[in-house]
Amino acid sequence: ADPDPLQDLCVADLSASISANNFPCKPLSEVTSDDFVFDGLRKQANFTDPFGVTVTTGNVLSFPGLNTLGIAMNRVDIEPGGINPPHSHPRASEIGIVIEGKILAGIVTTQNVYYSKVLTAGQVFVIPRGLVHFQLNVGPKKALTFTAFNSHLPGSTVLPLNLFAAAPSIPVEVLTKTFLVDEDAINNIKAKFVF
């Protein structure tokens, strides 16, 4: 989904003061072999969020060698019973492979049609660009999935966080009227997303 590159390589200069459609290249004289390797997906991070998922991102921000290449990769660790909650990627389709565990992978289209499948090790799934999707760990053990994207910065709109953990907050009236519930129901949800 990203534009085609116009040069062999363009390792991002993340500290550049000017950015047009993302990052300029750092000088070729400063590029080393290490710029093409990323260790950040090697190990599982700790589960720190209320969902029991850790999404470790290998995008241009964490792996500047991806700059302008139109690709990125994540590691998704989900604890038993945990969920990678409904979210969408505005700039990329996603392809994923289950490495261990058992997940229910679901997609909802813009027509509100729901597709889902229980997947185990070795199975590959695809999420069309921009569609809302989730992964629920339905097995007794930890689930590990690697996902890849056709953007160096796919972006992720995580629906519960977007609506209930935005800063500054979305007015409560917007949420009560959106979900047709009272303020207590909204505040109960919000309280769970104060990290």
List interacting residues with ligand GLV (CB under 6 A). 55, 74, 76, 84, 94, 133, 135, 147, 156
144 strand-pairing partners? 77, 100
Contact between 64 and 12 under an 8 Å Cβ cutoff? The reply is yes
23 strand-pairing partners? none
CA 91, CA 106: separation in Å to the nearest integer?
19
**Which of residues 74 and 150 has its CB atom nearest to ligand GLV in the complex?**
74
Q: Residues 90 to 129: which contact Mn ion by CB under 5 A?
A: 94
Q: Please choose which of ligand GLV, Mn ion, none residue 74 contacts, taking the beta carbon within 5 to 8 angstroms, the exact cut-off set by kind.
A: ligand GLV
Q: Smallest gap, in angstroms, from Cβ of residue 127 to Mn ion?
A: 6
Q: Smallest gap, in angstroms, from Cβ of residue 94 to ligand GLV?
A: 6
**Which of residues 2 and 94 has its CB atom nearest to Mn ion in the complex?**
94
Of the candidates 1, 14, 6, the one whose C-alpha atom is nearest the C-alpha of residue 60 is 14
> Which spans of this chain sit near Mn ion (rule: CB under 5 A)?
94
